[in-house]
Amino acid sequence: MQLHSDSISEMRSAIRGWVTLISNGELERAALVVSSDTHPLNGATLLEAIGRYSRRFREAPPDGRMTYLPRISPPDTAPLAGENMVVYMKGGSNIVVEYDLPIEDEWSDLTAKFELKSNGDGLFKMSMIDLRVL
């Protein structure tokens, strides 16, 4: 995901757009947007990461797992007061962003972790590092 600045509002907007892709079922597109050489992703990887949030999904037989897949909601359907985004520096120049995803219109502890690196040309690339319960 390319960003024009490292501003909090641009990061938040980009991540909210990414969550909306997932909520619309566009897992391959969502994976492509935040994939990188060091953190390659695809739709199946995202699906598994989201599924791990649900114990019933993890314990279900493979042919019945999708019944228990948590439903990621668009961020604007969850109460704004519960939205959680944490930004911090790592390694002196890399920015790490943690963002909690909404499930069934409520904020959850399923957290996407991103790394923001400067391309050196004034643009920034945001890549997903992890998606798990923190």
Domain extent listing, the chain: 2-133
pLDDT given for residue 30 in this prediction: 95
Residue 17 banded pLDDT, cuts 50, 70, 90: very high
Inter-residue contact 102 to 109 (CB < 8 Å) = no
pLDDT given for residue 119 in this prediction: 80
Pair type for strands 124-133 and 2-3: antiparallel
Buried b (16+ CB within 10 A) or exposed e, 11-42: bbebbbebbbbbbeeebeebbebbbeeeeebe
Helix (H) or strand (E) holding 49: helix 43-51
Q: At what angle do helices 27-34 and 8-23 cross, to 10 degrees?
A: 150
Q: How far apart are CA 44 and CA 27, in angstroms?
A: 8
| Digit-coded pLDDT (tens) for 31-46 | 999 988 888 889 999 9
| Digit-coded pLDDT (tens) for 74-130 | 999 999 899 999 999 887 778 999 999 999 999 999 999 999 888 877 788 889 999
* The length of the chain, given as a count of residues: 134
Residue 5 banded pLDDT, cuts 50, 70, 90: confident
pTM of the predicted model as reported, rounded to 2 decimal places: 0.89
pLDDT given for residue 26 in this prediction: 95
pLDDT given for residue 107 in this prediction: 96
Order of strands across the sheet with 2-3?
2-3, 124-133, 106-118, 94-103, 85-90
pLDDT given for residue 50 in this prediction: 92
